[in-house]
């Protein structure tokens, strides 16, 4: 008897172990069965609280833990669409239990937009897409750019623009290299400092020396296009001009000296009369850089013009192909500084060839340190320069019809 009792004490846990193994096997069998039932809307399907027959994931689902302790097990009805999703907006589906419990799930937007061919805007939800012409490089107008080749001789013949006729039949601009070619905005040493200023071909720029630059077609990038009108941004840094040299200095674009230079000097030099007639007025806002905490400038009323600078907000516009973040490097925002702009004193980096260029947005309108936003050599636009600086470059923008730039 004692022996049996001992035996029983030993066998009890053994039996328990067997029972546990049996339960585990049963659970596995049930799990497999449930999995097989899943495609037919089986038990497990409801248990996790989402409908696997729908293609969208559930917004909410019940956890295994709470299900175990619940006294009442919800019995949901069919999913009912509360709000139909569209191409641009999410919809909502709900299902109810008799106890009043409601489950909801998001019906995600289809993203299948109906874009209008002329405006590239969805006729259903208003979403915008980039024009198929965006990013294309075109030429329009001309400006001095590349350093004269050694085998070209300059004649005394000048045209109305003041350019000299070369022995190759092309026209050339005469420039005495500016004092800024060795200057660094980073304080004279460190990254980006040009210890020796070089032209794009690798020859050294000597301060005070006279150079000639070939007048060549200006290259532009199509940023956007709507109803056949394209917004073009100059693909290179063309020149180096202070934003304002009046006294006192101002960062208000509409009254700055660079506004006058751009809409008179540049426009009349870069574009023939026929080309000028093709430039379309574009509405320009001159709002303060609202993202800059030190912004002090006042807004001026929007006005229309045909040759202009882009704004800080433009540089964050993804429809133009730019990063939405001002303080990030963005190759799309960088521009190579041409030889002419280099001799004129623009700040640029020898290693990348990229130059600094102005935007029309004021950063500070204090008369002592009036500053405007710029884009730096890495495409970062969380940068400003005092308006009187002569080492910031020029990359104008214009609007023209696609038919006038050979794209349609």
Element (DSSP H or E) covering residue 286: strand 282-286
Smallest distance, Å, CB 351 to Zn ion? 44
What residues line the site for Zn ion (CB under 5 A)?
A: 74, 87-88, 97, 99, 101, 113, 122, 124-125, 127
- Asked whether the CA dihedral 167, 169, 170, 172 is positive or negative, the reply is positive
Using only C-alpha atoms, the chain has a radius of gyration, in whole angstroms, of 34
Smallest distance, Å, CB 96 to Zn ion? 9
6: how many CB neighbours lie within 10 A of its CB? Answer: 10
Element (DSSP H or E) covering residue 37: helix 2-37
Smallest distance, Å, CB 104 to Zn ion? 15
CA distance 234 to 255: 22
Query: In 3D, which of 209, 185, 234 has the Cα closest to residue 347?
Result: 185
Q: Which is nearer to Zn ion, 87 or 92 (CB)?
A: 87
Q: Where are the beta strands (DSSP E) in 120-234?
A: 137-147, 154-158, 164-166, 171-176, 210-226, 229-234
Smallest distance, Å, CB 321 to Zn ion? 21
Please state whether the peptide bond connecting residue 267 to the residue before it is cis, i.e. omega within 30 degrees of 0: no
Q: Which is nearer to Zn ion, 73 or 139 (CB)?
A: 73
Q: Which is nearer to Zn ion, 74 or 344 (CB)?
A: 74
Q: Which is nearer to Zn ion, 120 or 221 (CB)?
A: 120
Q: Which is nearer to Zn ion, 56 or 124 (CB)?
A: 124
Smallest distance, Å, CB 126 to Zn ion? 7
Smallest distance, Å, CB 129 to Zn ion? 9
Q: Which is nearer to Zn ion, 85 or 353 (CB)?
A: 85
Q: Which two tokens stand for residue 300?
A: 């001026």
């Amino acid at each position: 008897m004692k022996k049996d009792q001992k035996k029983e004490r030993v066998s009890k846990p053994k039996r328990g172990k067997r029972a546990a193994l049996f339960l585990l096997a049963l659970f596995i069998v049930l799990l497999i069965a449930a999995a097989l039932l899943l495609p037919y809307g089986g038990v497990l399907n409801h248990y996790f609280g989402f409908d696997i027959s729908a293609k969208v994931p559930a917004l909410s689902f019940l956890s295994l833990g709470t299900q175990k302790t619940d006294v009442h097990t919800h019995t949901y009805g069919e999913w009912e669409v509360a709000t139909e999703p569209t191409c641009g907006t999410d919809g909502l589906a709900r299902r109810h239990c008799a106890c009043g419990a409601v489950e909801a799930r998001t019906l995600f937007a289809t993203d299948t937009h109906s874009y209008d061919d002329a405006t590239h805007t969805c006729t259903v939800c208003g979403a915008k897409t980039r024009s198929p012409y965006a990013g294309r490089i075109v030429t329009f107008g001309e400006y001095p750019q590349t350093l004269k080749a050694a085998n070209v001789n300059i004649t005394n013949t000048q045209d109305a623009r003041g350019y000299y006729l070369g022995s190759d039949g092309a026209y050339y601009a005469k420039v005495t290299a500016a004092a800024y070619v060795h200057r660094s905005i980073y304080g004279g040493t460190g990254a980006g400092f040009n210890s020796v200023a070089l032209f794009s071909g690798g020859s050294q720029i000597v301060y005070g020396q006279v150079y000639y630059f070939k007048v060549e077609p200006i290259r532009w990038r199509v940023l956007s296009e709507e109803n056949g009108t394209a917004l073009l941004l100059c693909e290179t840094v063309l020149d180096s001009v202070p934003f304002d040299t009046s006294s006192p200095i101002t960062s208000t674009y509409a009254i700055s000296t660079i506004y006058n230079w751009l809409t008179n000097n540049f426009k009349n030099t870069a574009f023939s009369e026929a080309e000028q007639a093709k430039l379309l007025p574009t509405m320009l806002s001159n709002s303060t850089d609202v993202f800059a905490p030190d912004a002090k400038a006042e807004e001026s009323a929007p006005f229309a013009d045909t040759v202009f600078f882009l704004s800080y907000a433009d540089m964050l516009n993804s429809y133009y192909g730019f990063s939405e973040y001002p303080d990030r490097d963005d190759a799309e925002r960088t521009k190579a500084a041409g030889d002419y702009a280099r001799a004129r004193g623009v700040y640029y980096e020898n290693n990348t060839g990229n130059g600094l260029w102005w935007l029309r947005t004021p950063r500070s309108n204090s008369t002592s340190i009036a500053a405007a936003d710029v884009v730096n050599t890495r495409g970062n636009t969380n940068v400003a320069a005092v308006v009187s600086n002569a080492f910031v470059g020029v990359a104008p923008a214009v609007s023209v019809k696609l038919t006038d730039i050979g794209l349609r």
